[in-house]
Structure 1
């Protein structure tokens, strides 16, 4: 059986990744997960911590973004499916960029957000193969895609 690589991008303030991973384990699906660095401060400061301090915040952020891009580009490139979660509290510009990058690479894209983001994310949603609201819906999509069977249907 094929092993699927799923990249989980997006907000870092809720346990949505852990919920998907638990659902996949419970369904015994052959999925390996990857993600960006989810420790906010480490992600922000990796560039200056490794490459040296910057007095200007612009260059501080640019160094961090470039170092983070090494991981992000590699893992999205290796993914079979990219899931991008837009949370309620923060504007996740990086998540929108990840969705666009995955779409440009022709990756299967699943976008997750609540109905309140529907209008703001209409272009991102248009690039996705599925738009969901819950981690459980993602697990059900993975189960269907991997096993080719839909719960409740026979034949």
Structure 2
């Protein structure tokens, strides 16, 4: 058993799934450090122009923000032992799909988390994942088994 694991929680930012996983793992005493993208939508969107200066066109504003967020995301995924990627049903999370692909390309174990209704549209992403969960509790149980060997 590794003494401390690092888990990156990627994807949907409109529900409390991250907190559910963190609380569940804490309750089981699992030695995990969690990392995530900046989940404040405004900060994530505006970081590039706030730091590097305004842009007239939305495209360039988005490019600055996306690249700054990529520094964070790619660095934290590379440092992670496991990457959990949550796909919600309300918004399309293209960035989450990219994170899953990046993690898989880097040889990081990926766990996807989504409702059963998204199974078909996410079949390729799920095909690259080592586990596919439908609830945060299932993710907690997967992490518990992987880290501690306990069911």
TM-score tier by shorter-chain length is: over 0.9
Distance 1:18 1:149 in 2: 22
Tell me how far apart the structure 2 counterparts of residues 60 and 38 of structure 1 sit (CA, whole Å).
Answer: 18
TM-score (norm 2): 0.98
1:148, CA displacement in angstroms?
A: 1.5
- Number of aligned residue pairs: 150
1:54-65 correspondence to structure 2 within 5 Å: 54-65=55-66
What whole-Å deviation, never above 9, does each CA across 1:84-109 have from its counterpart, x for those lacking one?
A: 00001000000000000000001010
Alignment TM-score, normalising by the size of structure 1: 0.95
Gaps of 5+ in 2: none
Where structure 1 has 5 or more consecutive residues not aligned to the other structure, the ranges are: 151-155
Structure 1 or 2, whichever has the larger Rg, is: 1
DSSP-derived class of the 1:23 partner: helix
Moved over 6 A (4+): none
Deviations along 1:97-139, whole A, 9 cap, x unmatched?
0000000001010000011111110000000000000000011
Provide the alpha-carbon RMSD of the alignment: 0.7
